[in-house]
Homo-oligomer: A and B are copies of this chain.
Amino acid sequence: MENTINEQTTTQVMTPAQFLEHYQGHRRLTRKIIEAFPEKEFFNYSIGGMRPFSEMAKELLAIAVPGLTEIVSGKTGEFDENRDYGNTKAEFLKKWDQDTEQINKLWKQLSIERFQEHVKLFGQYEGSVLSNIQYFVDNEIHHRGQGYVYLRALDIEPPFFYDRS
């Protein structure tokens, strides 16, 4: 088990476990933002012609598990940010939680050597596994930051940015 030995005995800037926790911490915060939206505004509210937060959440769901599944399996899949997760926040949150578990399972199948490997996700996004997963996380932070503005404009106090509990 060369991978495990490497990870445990050499100095890492960031271990795979820390990367997973970083991602899941951000996903926990995004979950709080979904919860913070009033039911109707989650699906309808927007500013400046942008998408409602439910549509952004669909994009995040279309990236996380499908993207990691591709990385782990090596099989190209379809990028589809228009999948139907229902018409209630509760249904989105249920899917979110299912994906949280799925991400943990997929992560266990990622050996440390894979992070520097070159991949092409969804038939188009080229880069290292590292840069692709960083993009998953960064894109989530980016859109969630937009959700914060929606909540503020709705006069709703959003959760603290540093709260990843």
Binding site for B on A (CB under 8 A): 3, 6, 10-16, 18-19, 22, 26, 47-50, 112-113, 115-116, 130-131, 134-135, 138-139, 141-146, 148-155, 161-162
| CB within 8 Å for A155 and B13 given contacts A148-B142, A162-B135 | no
Copies of this chain, count: 2
| CB within 8 Å for A13 and B15 given contacts A22-B134, A141-B141 | yes
Give the residue of B48, B134, B135, B142 whose beta carbon is less than 8 angstroms from that of A155.
B48
Give the residue of B11, B135, B142 whose beta carbon is less than 8 angstroms from that of A6.
B11
Give the residue of B12, B116, B141, B149 whose beta carbon is less than 8 angstroms from that of A138.
B141
Q: Are B48 and A130 in contact (CB under 8 A)?
A: no
Q: Are A152 and B13 in contact (CB under 8 A)?
A: no
Nearest CB in chain B: distance from A11 CB, A: 5
Which residues of B sit under 8 angstroms from A26, Cβ to Cβ? 138
Q: Are B112 and A13 in contact (CB under 8 A)?
A: yes
Q: Are B13 and A115 in contact (CB under 8 A)?
A: yes
Q: Are A113 and B11 in contact (CB under 8 A)?
A: yes
Q: Are B141 and A145 in contact (CB under 8 A)?
A: yes
Q: Are B116 and A12 in contact (CB under 8 A)?
A: yes
| Bound Cα distance A162, B145 (Å) | 16
| Bound Cα distance A152, B150 (Å) | 13
A-B contact pairs, 22 of them (CB 8 A): A3-B11, A10-B10, A10-B11, A11-B112, A13-B13, A13-B16, A13-B19, A18-B130, A22-B131, A22-B134, A26-B138, A47-B47, A48-B155, A49-B152, A50-B149, A50-B152, A141-B142, A142-B145, A146-B146, A146-B148, A146-B149, A149-B149
